[in-house]
Structure 1
């Protein structure tokens, strides 16, 4: 198979040789390095054979010495194919240009259709799409993905509850669902206020209901702090509302390595482009760039379409960021401080917005295998009021 492919690249000529000294002629050509195949005697003085294009000069030079005539029957191989192509350069250039024009036209956005929204919201959506670079006349392979466009529109257009974004052929189709505001007034439900966790009350403000606890009281989870029963034993409840701030306590265990690996980037990036055909990647632009240290790469494949038919190749855009790797050795005090801040941040993320850490203590600390391990106790001031609905008559 490899030999046939090599012969195809070199080019083959099928010839007919006639004359009285054919055999000495052929033997001399072979001695000069020529390769002959498919030898067939047509008669006593005429032979058909196949030779390589590079041996054609040898055959022509020796034919007069042995008084032989050579007639070319057929040619094959890449050199002859390229020669025939040169005769029709203008035609092939026109075909290639036409193909490129069709691809560009098929990957150009021609229309945007928006349904399901009011004219005001439609105008706002069109304005946002233009800010994203999505407008008629632009190439679709340079635009954001429909899913990314959907996310941005939901963030930027406040009146949208949901919007679907679909690229179909050379058009973008969007269908939105507007957010509906109901002015229905909810009927208040009878309720009490109970403690959501154990703590010591530091302040309380009950705007609706009757307080049952006081400042400096230590309460457990589920303790009744205020009731919606304004008059004792009346059996009639209102919806209790209020805020009860209390001092609570949390125990946390955290560990942090003294040796920290840090990866930094200055934000500069370089783009390279490749053409993907199946599993084969052909570099197009930026492939000559040399790697410099540690790098981080982000790749994105852009598809090409002709109407609804997806072409079997993709343009892969790779963004390369240069990273700088640093190793930072923390002292014991630095590791302890960093561990405390990490534990505080993690705790605050779990608590409500009003929560505040008032004090933190280290109960135990030790160093083990390059890590600093801490057991911490935090004092927190937070709202422990929890609404608990009741049924009248219970």
Structure 2
């Protein structure tokens, strides 16, 4: 009875037995307590039976009188046979699977999206500092979030906002430059000077003497409102000159804009998947990639303080990837808008464009290049300290 429960576990031989006296064969099996779990008569002299491996060893003694041939196996015996026959293929498949797991865990590209080379260089240097670079293992969502905060802290004077996403085997990095206004220094005694070249449109002096007025052109550093109060050509006192100088300032802005862009739109469709993370290897339980294009957001729901093991819920948000191709006119309009944003956002100062003129532009196979001349209305007033002259 005990052996009957072991049949599915240990496996059996499927044997073809041929001989003149099959009845004697059955008598021998009964005498040796050989369990036949399945019997099929093929003809008067041939049967097919299933027996345990241990019982097959007993039957081998009858090979002089009967033709006994193994024609199949079940359970563990079949697995062992299949393993011997296909072990090289199985090993290759297993190795291939683990190689794919490893490759899927490696980053091959870091793409930094920003128009300024300086900002791209800062981000790239910071990414490399925290080992977010090609040919390294992917970081978890939690690790990336921590590193993002560190990069922002390290570059708080340069970066306002940073996003690091994983798309396939790439890190996609987007950033926003921090734009801050330079506070005007004020002194006990000061002039108001021009902080850049410009044509004066209007001067308002709260205190001090106006030296240059409307429709006069001034160079950078020129005193427009003096803190020296004069009488008959002599300085009678010094004050803190205050006021505003509205002037026309000229700029030349160069931009480039792609004729083709990959635009990713997030949708409201979300599906959850779960994975086990061991060291830097991810083993998805199911639903690894429910959508063709998606953004993944990870949440650790189970972890251990000492073991490198985590159970992670992955929220897969479906995205629509649009390959947008611009005509020359569309690209030109987009480039002009980009140039205006670049100009008006510069230094975070208030500016008003009163005239613009395209100096030149040209288009190649992938981008449009544009140079624009702008006349901008802005305040060019800058306090400058009146230094005391050294007395002999």
TM-score (norm 2): 0.50
